[in-house]
Each structure stands twice: as C-alpha cells, then as structure tokens.
Amino acid sequence: MNKGKLFGALALTTVSLTLAACNNKQGDAAGPGTTLVYQNSADIPTLDPGTTYDTASGQVVENLYETLLTYQGNSLTELEPLLATGWEEGNGGREYRFTLREGVKFHAGGDFGCKDAEYTFRRNLVTNTSDSGNWFLSESLLGTGANANDDQSVTWARITQAVKCDGETLVFTLPKADPAFLPKLAYTGQGIVDSTHAKEIGEWDGTEATWKAAVGQDLTGSPLAQDPSGTGAYKLVGRDATTLSATAFENYWGEQPSIKNVVIQKVPEQAARIQAFLRGDADLIESGGRDIVETQLKGQDGVAVLDDLPDTTATGLSMNQNIKGGQLGSGRLDGQGIPANFFSDVNVRRGFVAAFDTDTYIQEVLRGKGQPRNFLLPDSFPGYDQDLAPANFDLDAARAAFRQAWGGQVWAQGFTLNATYRAGARNVQAAMELLKKNIESLNPKFKVNIVPKEWSEIIKASNQGSEAMVVTSWAPDYADPDNFVYTFYNSGGYYSPRINVADAQIDAWTNEARGTTDTARRNALYAQVAERAKDQALYIVMPSPVGVLAYRDNLQGISAETYSPLTSFVTGTLWKNLSKS
C-alpha cells in the first residue's frame, strides 16, 4: 500500500472512532455534518491555561476556557466583556473593578463566581512558570515579571492584595498604572479555571500555607491539563498522543454552537494530510504554506481559499549565545561541533545573517508574497521603522565575517552546527535548508545539520537554553510593540534566558520605551533598537508572509472580516463561530 494512503486510512479510522465517542457522550446522532476535523503536524503540549504559551495548545484552550475580556471581532485595539459584564477604572489607573457574568456554568457542573477568577489570577501569579505568559501579568500586578523563587519582593500579602473579591466584584490593584493591563486580561492564558474542580483533582489549594510550594511549578502535565473544566463553548472528550476530541458544552451560557464535535489530529505526513483534505475527511489542515496551497489545493473540487490575510507575527532564527549542552557536538572549534558560546562572537552572527537569502525565500517558499523585515516587530505596528533597510544577503560579507570570527579559528577549523525545527513545519525547514546550503558553500569545513523535533521537545529544550539555533516566533499576547520588542531584545524578556540575548544599550532603550506614553518618543526609541539589533546581528529576521488559508467550501464562518490574528486557531476565529452546510 502507498504510504500516503496508509496514513490517510489510519487518520480516517481514528476520526471515525473519535466521532463515535463524541456521539456517545452527546447522546445524539451527531455525525460528520456537525463535526469539524483539523489535521496538523504538531502535538499539543498542555491544556492548562496557567502554562499555555504556544499556538498548538492555545487553539484548544481558547475554546475550552474563557477570559474576562476579549477583542471585538478582528480588532487589535477594541475590547469587550466576556466573563465580565463591565469594569470601572479608578485611582489613576491603579485599580480595576470587574462585574462578573451571572448564570455561567463550568464543564464540571459548578457555578462560575468571583472566587474562581480570584483563584485563577492568584494561581498564575504564584506559579508564574518560565514557560507561561504570566510574567507580563505579574509585571502589571506585582511590578516584576519574576516569581517568588527569583524575586523576594513577591510575597503572599502582595499577591492577595493585587487580586481579591469584594463580594462578587473582582478587584485588581496595580502598583502603578499600566496602559496595557486590560489587553493582557484578554490573553488565552488568563482563561478562568474552575477553582473547586481544580482543588478536588489535586491542584494548588489556594492557601497561604501551601503557596510557596507551588511557585514555579511545572504545569504542563498538571491535573488540570489532564482534566480541564472551563466555561467555554466546548469541553474535552479525550486525548491521546495523536488525537484530541471535544464536544459542544450543553450548559454553555451563550448560544449553542452549530458544530457539535471537534477533532484535532496529529498527522505528521504532509501527503496524508493533503489526501485527507482533498477527500473531505478533514475540513482544515496544516497545509505547509502558500506553495502547497497554490500548487496542490487551490482550484480543487470542494476547496475554498482565503488569501491576503494579515500577518501580526514576528519570526526569526535565533542564535543562542550560551548554549546549555545538548547541541554542541564535540563542544570545540574542531570541525566536529561548536563551543557553548559560539554565537557570542558578533562576527559569527553577522556571517549567518549575511548568508540568509531573504529574496529567494520569498520567491520560492512564499511564492512572491512576502516582504523583508528589518526588525522582529510586525511592520503594521507602531514603532516599526520603515526607513531602515533590512539585512542584505551577501556571501562575500558572510565570508569576511567568518574569517574574523574567533580570531580566525572558525575559518581555519570549521564547525558543525545542529539547528532544530518543528517536524512538519515546512516553511521553517525550507528556511534552514536555504541557510545550510549557503553556509556550507562558504567553506568545506562548515557543516549545518537540520534536526526535526516534536514541538513539545523544542519547547522543553528551549526553556533549558539547550537549543543552538531554533525558530523564534511571536504572536501578540496584547497589541502593543512592547510585547515584541521587550520579548525578543531585552535581557529581562522571554527569549533572553533561552538564547542569552543581552545588550545594555538595548535594555536602556526598551526600558525607557515601556515607561513612557509619549508615542513619538517610543517610536524613536524602537527605531534605535532596530538599528542596533541589526548591527549586532541578534537574529536572522524572517520576512513577513502574506497569510493564506485553504478550507473545505462547506465550512462557514471564515472571512477576511472575521479573521482575527489574535486567535490561535488556523481559521482566525473560535470553533463556536463556525458552521457546516
């Protein structure tokens, strides 16, 4: 049997079994017409909102849980209530009082109330793990992005003062005004959890007596990750290594979804995903990028394509300046590996940056639909300097930089670099293959190994700082340039402990930018950061793609007007907003 057909058959069998399970749970005859099937190549690391910080997890969590606020339609700036019904701001922006929605049920059967919101935010501030987005919540509420293990100023008294219930009104108290606080509350990771259910299944009990033991606790495989209970329109039916299934929550407070069942499958083989999609066995797939959509999917029977979608992400190839083992080979400049601080030499980084052929990548991988970038900030955001030229592809400049690197040792001895990409991520693989080709063309002693890994493996290794080169990509947690610039470039940002990017001048500029509301001054500071980051070759900045989505034409609710780049799911909207004809 053809390998692609074998994978397609296996995928279809799994869907059938899962649908049967969903139907039994629902107690009705829901079938394929009310079932959404999505196939991709990534695993789903967690279902605990307290540590959700990747799109594979986020696309599920945002449908199982709900936040206090959400964005209006596809707006990047306008917010509206969700589990809250309204809020009041006071004390010069240092206090927020939220009125909460009544009549809301959790999946486990309990009623939603202020105690659940209080528990959720306190839990996030207490745990504040390195692989979560709670650092930016903690910055707003406690004045530091660190948890109590790393910052002694974080105390139980400060946490309980920062978030508490006044009857059924949720009250936040900030140490200073933060204009980005409300958008932060709309982030998926701030989904409200069922506190009674969480405590019953073995999560933190919410008390002062036990809080220190919960600080920094790894929540990836937590009891709540295995047995979630949110207020979302869908609840979990089950999951294993390859399949996750969810069903519409019969007691959802809002309108009942048209699609009753959702199945997300991990299908590593791209050919198998394409075959399933063209047969109609999958409604949506991780296609592998524009090239696949335009050459294999567009124009096929039953296929619709939505093009020219906005890109509000920023993506670069990182160069870890202090690698914590794992990817070093021999660990020396002897042609068989690299030292841990290989990328700390700016000439090494400049060599890699100059060897990346952005124009060829745009033409061959993005099929001409993309724009070079000079900085890891979406060019649609304030603060992006349109006048700064992107880095040049220049093999002569790359050769000259490598000749200078490490006092000439890199050129004389050579190196072997292990670069990692997510298995199935075709565009990243193509970028690394292009880089590999150009780097190895410079010197026969240069070797780049491209290593595919599962997404959860990459996250774990990156958190440990052990990946030498890996894609670093960011979608906005909240719509402000600080969320990108601080994250990528400041020594206190998310990526610094993972790839050891630190520059005192950039720190000064980014810290000043996040402390001022003067838009012109902020923009000027970000322009300075961009110029220095380019000079120091801190990242290989990937071009901005133009988004494209292929889907089965009987799937309704997908349009340019409803597509929100702040939604993790591939359609740019929540499952509850989709239907099938």
Dump pLDDT digits (tens) for 530-560: 999 999 999 999 999 888 999 999 999 999 9
Mean pLDDT of 33-41: 92
What is the structure's pLDDT at 516? Answer: 79
Considering only residues 476 and 13, tell me which one the structure prediction assigns the higher pLDDT. 476
Q: What average pLDDT does the chain have?
A: 91
Name the band, by pLDDT with cuts 50, 70 and 90, for residue 33: low
Whether the predicted pLDDT of 494 surpasses 50: yes
The runs of H, that is alpha helices, within 313-355 are 346-354
Q: Of 557, 564, 575, 58, which is closest to residue 309 (Cα–Cα)?
A: 564
For residue 41, count other CB atoms closer than 10 A to its CB. 22
| Predicted local distance difference test score (pLDDT) of residue 381 | 83
DSSP assignment of 509-556, as one string? HHHHHHT---HHHHHHHHHHHHHHHHHTT-EEEPPEEPEEEEEETTEE
Q: What integer pLDDT is reported at residue 215 of this predicted model?
A: 97
* 155 neighbors 148 (Cβ within 8 angstroms): yes
Q: Does residue 103 have a pLDDT over 80?
A: yes
Residue 81 region by backbone torsions, left for phi larger than 0, else alpha for psi between -120 and 50, else beta: beta
Q: What is the pLDDT of residues 64-92, one digit of tens each?
A: 999 999 999 888 778 999 999 999 999 99
Contacts by 25-30, CB closer than 8 A, 24 or more apart:
25/237, 25/247, 26/247, 26/248, 26/250, 26/260, 26/261, 28/260, 30/260, 30/261
Q: Name all domains of the chain by residue range, CATH numbers in brackets.
A: 3-43+241-310+546-580 (3.40.190.10), 65-218 (3.90.76.10), 314-545 (3.10.105.10)
pLDDT attached to residue 540: 98
**pLDDT confidence of residue 31:** 52
Range of lowest pLDDT (32-36, 150-154, 285-289, 425-429):
32-36
Asked whether 147 and 215 are in contact (CB, 8 A), the reply is: yes
Q: Considering only 150-154, 321-325, 412-416, which range has the smallest mean pLDDT?
A: 321-325
Confidence of residue 290 (pLDDT cuts 50, 70, 90): confident
Question: 7: pLDDT confidence band, cut at 50, 70 and 90?
Answer: very low
Q: What does the pLDDT look like over 322-352, one tens digit per residue?
A: 999 767 999 999 999 999 999 999 999 999 9
Q: Is the pLDDT of residue 8 over 70?
A: no
Question: Residue 451 to residues 51, 268, 459, 468, 513: CA-CA distances in angstroms?
Answer: 26, 15, 14, 11, 38
Residue 1 has pLDDT above 70, yes or no: no
Q: Which of 98-102, 479-483, 533-537, 548-552 has the lowest mean pLDDT?
A: 479-483
Name every residue whose Cβ is closer than 8 Å to that of residue 557 and which is 6 or more positions away in sequence: 571, 573, 577, 578, 579
pLDDT value at position 380?
Answer: 81
Counting residues of the chain whose pLDDT is more than 70, the rounded percentage is 94
Pair 346, 539: CB distance under 8 Å: no
Q: Are strands 415-422 and 446-453 parallel, antiparallel or unpaired?
A: parallel
Q: Which residue has the higher pLDDT, 568 or 249?
A: 249
Burial zone of 24 (CB within 10 Å; 0-12 exposed, 13-18 middle, 19+ buried): exposed
pLDDT for position 28: 40
* pLDDT for res 3: 28
Average pLDDT for 181-185:
92
